[in-house]
Structures are given as C-alpha cells and as structure tokens.
Amino acid sequence: MAGICRNRIGKGGEVNYHIFLNSVEDISSIIRTAKLTPEDTRVICSRSEETLKKNLAKLPIGFDISKALDPVKPINFYTSTCFEGQDIEDANGQTFIVSNAGREHTLMDISTSFIQICGRIRNSAYKNEIVHLYSVSRYQNDVSLEEFEESTHNALMQAQEYAD
C-alpha cells in the first residue's frame, strides 16, 4: 500500500485514495514508508477520550486525527470508526480495503463490514472499482488468488441468501 500511495503523490492526478484499514499502527507504517505528509494525508480514527492520546502517539510527528467531514486529501485513511454509517463525498474517490492477516482486527467480515465499506463513498466516478489488498496468514500461505476470490464470492452469496 505504501508504494501505491507514494506513486499517487509522485504522479499527482485527481484521484483521491480512501484506504480502509483498522490499524493505526499499520496506517502509521504506510505513512512513514511512503513518506507521506500531513498536507497530502488525513487519518480518521477514534477520537474518544480513551483512545485519542494513544492514537496520536502512534502517528508520525505533525499528523493529527481528522474528522470524517473534513475536506478530503489525496490520501485518506479510515479505521473502523468509518466502516459503517459514514457518508464520504468525493467525486474522485477510489476505495481501497486493506486486510493484514497478522492483525485480526484488520480482517473484514464479508457479510457486513466489507459490503458497508464498499458503499461509503457516495458520489464517486469510481464507485464500482474497489481494490482489496490482503495478506495471508502463516496458516494460509498456500491459498491462491482464485481460491481466495471463490471463498469471498461464496461468503457473499451466503450473506445474500440470508438477507433475501
């Protein structure tokens, strides 16, 4: 993800990246690796009394925690605080969902969270293009992309049948 962000900033363009990743630690790592700046990046995560100081301490110096309704930037990170019920207005917004198998709290439940995230950006020209970046756990390193896609599709079909 860091390389993708670095390329977006380096090449410029009108597309804004909206990256859904439920780990402030991983977001911070991407920011550092990609050498992102507060001018081109915003981070939206919990601002509760319990977590505000902890989350700020995890971010690189100079970064603050934005609100979901603040103006979008070229790179926008969201933790689970925005996975459901938060409308994001960005005609040039591209959605990325990142799952890190090494951190259980970053994995998506295909029947709820994944589908909710896909609908967060309301007015984007790219609303039908969702990029899911994932890693496999040490227990799943023999899973092919085709097997992962089939498993994801099956879970989606089961969720749809349940909803119907």
Residue 33 to residues 15, 81, 163: CA-CA distances in angstroms?
A: 21, 24, 41
> Mean pLDDT in each 10-residue stretch from start to end of the chain (164 residues)?
95 94 94 97 92 94 94 94 85 90 56 72 89 68 69 75 75
pLDDT of amino acid 71: 96
Distance CA 67, CA 47 (A): 9
What's the predicted TM-score (pTM) here? 0.79
Residue 45 to residues 36, 70, 106, 155: CA-CA distances in angstroms?
A: 17, 13, 13, 28
| Cα-to-chain-centroid distance, residue 63 | 18
